[in-house]
Amino acid sequence: MSGYLQVSTTTATREDATKLARSAVKAGLAASAQVHGPVTTIFWHLGEFGDGDEWQVTLKTTTTRYAELEAHLLTEHPWDNPEVTATEISHGSPSYPCLAGPQHESLVLQPDPVMLRGRARWRAAVTKRGP
């Protein structure tokens, strides 16, 4: 399997991460996005050693949409010079809409009715169970 990427970036707040994720998926530049965090980051920046909490955004897209997604993330990101990285997805479940084949190449976002029914059942079960 080739042609698919997992793209990531980080932000200082959950709100910024969610905003980036939502705008990229809504624009059709990514099939899905997850926001994780907070995560502790240890880094060198401008010659100084530091650490801090960040929120990670992970997005799924195609290699042909990567340049547009990267430009979108760099434009919409609140930081002047954010890290945006991409890793090739070499394996994945064939029923996942982003990884299902050439019919999804031009526009990543193609909801799969079977997957959506499964997610709806999962959400109903989680809601019923409560926190």
The predicted pLDDT at position 123 comes to 52
Residue range 81-95: average pLDDT?
88
Which of 25-29, 30-34, 103-107 comes out lowest in average pLDDT? 103-107
Residue 122 has pLDDT above 80, yes or no: no
Spans of all domains in the chain:
4-129
In a 13 Å sphere around the CA of 70, the CA atoms on its Cβ side amount to 15
- Across the range 99-105, mean pLDDT stands at 46
Q: How far is CA 58 from the centre of its chain?
A: 3
| Residue 18 pLDDT greater than 80, yes or no | yes
For the domain bounded by 4-129, which CATH number is listed?
3.30.70.120
